[in-house]
Amino acid sequence: SQQGEEDPQALSIQEGENATMNCSYKTSINNLQWYRQNSGRGLVHLILIRSNEREKHSGRLRVTLDTSKKSSSLLITASRAADTASYFCATDPQGAQKLVFGQGTRLTINP
Amino acid sequence: KAGVTQTPRYLIKTRGQQVTLSCSPISGHRSVSWYQQTPGQGLQFLFEYFSETQRNKGNFPGRFSGRQFSNSRSEMNVSTLELGDSALYLCASKVSGRSTGELFFGEGSRLTVL
């Protein structure tokens, strides 16, 4: 079964608006990562946040991690049409030695 | 640096056949992982290889196998193909280390089983 569950499954917003995606997981983790996938392509790493970090920024991306609630959020500010893609959270469960991916959020940016 | 290269990109097979997919990792990366992606199950971990040894394995039947060569290139094989094996197979590499760091993915091999 998947470690991470993402919410919402699909999100459609206007260009320029902010997009927020959430991820919940079940077990203790070493780190949590976010990836982007354009339709039918490979995944591209966006950001990694370690279990002892609460917030991290990278350009227009902001990731938060709440280990007490076992949840994370990805915020994309000032969205662009090129941000249209599926976004996946991936957890590194302690002792698992592998990344476990959520089902993803399909983000559509309307021009 | 060249990225992760997967071949072939697309292939069509019939039930009962077998298939071999290839992955060339980024130069210097010694770990290669394989994932299966389907609309219903999402991204499922198949296995990871490091220094020619399988280091971790997901919950897939024995029809799914893999190997890694001394130059870190990896292959995965699926025997006795079933319709449900139709999927995008993704290979990812990383430098390695104890904890799971950033994975670098290839574009995938899209397998269709008829």
Q: Residue A1 above 50 pLDDT?
A: no
Spatial separation of the C-alpha atoms in residues A81 and A2, rounded to whole Å: 29
Question: Across the interface, which of B33, B100, B107 has its CB nearest the CB of A42?
Answer: B107
Q: Which residues of B touch A88 (CB under 8 A)?
A: 43
pLDDT 10s digits, A66-94? 999 999 999 999 999 999 999 999 998 88
pLDDT 10s digits, A10-34? 999 999 999 999 999 999 999 999 9
Average pLDDT over residues B44-56: 93
Q: Residue B113 above 50 pLDDT?
A: yes
**Which of B10, B37, B41, B43 should be substituted to probe chain A, the one whose Cβ sees the most A Cβ atoms within 10 Å?**
B43
CB contact burial A77-108 (16+ within 10 A = b; e otherwise): eebeeebbbbbbbbbbbeebebbbbbbbbbbe
